[in-house]
Amino acid sequence: MFVSPGELRLPFDSRTIFGREGPLIFEIGFGNGWFLEQLARADPSANVLGAETSASSVHRAYRRLSRARLDNVRMFKGDAVFLTRFVLRSGSIDTVYVNYPDPWPRRKHRGRRLLSADFLQLLADRLKPSGKVVLTTDHAEYFQFARDQAAKSTVFSELVATPPSQFLETRYAKKWRRQGKAIYHAVLTSRGHVADPVPDIGGNNMQHALLSGDLGTVGSMPPGVYRKQDAYVIVMNHLLDEANEGMVFAVHVEEHGLKQDILIEAVPREHGIFVGVRRFGSPMATRGVGEALRIVVDWLESRGLEVRDRWYRDDQPR
């Protein structure tokens, strides 16, 4: 039911994730999962994908969808913009639903609004011809903002309409209706295309290195924050791995909206000290993860170990 970063193949392959082909429906910000469930029930032939950043919402959605026992839904906990730009391929989505997005009403925060002209142009590339973005919101100013941005994008036509009944049954819709708030609804249909190919942020194979020397002499790596190209790498903790007579480094990596907590291990093997990323948490082998590994390897080298070989991406300069 969950799609973890390490399970994603770039670009996205519905058959790999869902085990079958089918129309791809994408909900951005699925909240408690009620609408995801309705989408999956309404069209069992569809592959329904949802993205959500809130851990508590994902937990509630998981409980709901587990009870429903639907096999055509997958959830991604993370940034929908990352998923759209770096994973979903051009012409792969039938419909995108955005229900009651955060309006970011403060002027200084408006740059965080989801439906900007740039993002709509990206969606137009990922949508099939005449694919749709369906927006429902209670926030009049955000609704007008989204319409203006759609016009600015030049790749969508719009239909403003009364929201169908299923859009009025979500948790937020019921709350706003009890308060007497108006609900706004628009269907944006792709009528153009701005090519926006999927960028390459890394392969699916983890980088690693082989060192020689005595791990017992290197001491403890201090916590630190590193900026490497488009990634932030935060070394949080350095632990001894007594079971394997090695070390484990707890590292947080942020890049392009993707946040990953990874464990880098340094353990003695037959031919030397292996340094690589543990599969714990199923991380995606992005450039940022490669940079995190490089930071640890460089620190070990600075502490007296000798680097015998490195397996890094060819286009990832040192």
Residue positions annotated with a catalytic role:
102
Q: Pull the structure tokens for residue 102.
A: 């955060």
Tally of CA atoms within 13 A in the half-sphere of 214 that contains its CB: 3
Q: Tokens 């913009």: give the residue.
A: 81
* Bridge partners of residue 190, in order along the sequence: 156
* Contact assessment for residue 39 and residue 97, using Cβ atoms and an 8 Å cutoff: yes
If 0-12 CB within 10 Å is exposed, 13-18 middle and 19+ buried, where does residue 188 land? buried
Taking residue 23's Cβ as centre, other Cβ atoms within 10 Å add up to 14
C-alpha to C-alpha distance for 12 and 3, rounded to whole angstroms: 11
Distances (CA, A) of 46 to 5, 25, 90, 147: 22, 7, 18, 28
Taking residue 12's Cβ as centre, other Cβ atoms within 10 Å add up to 21
For the chain, what is the radius of gyration of the CA atoms?
Answer: 23
What beta strand segments (E) does 167-313 contain?
A: 184-190, 208-212, 224-228, 231-241, 246-255, 258-269, 272-277, 306-311
C-alpha to C-alpha distance for 103 and 113, rounded to whole angstroms: 6
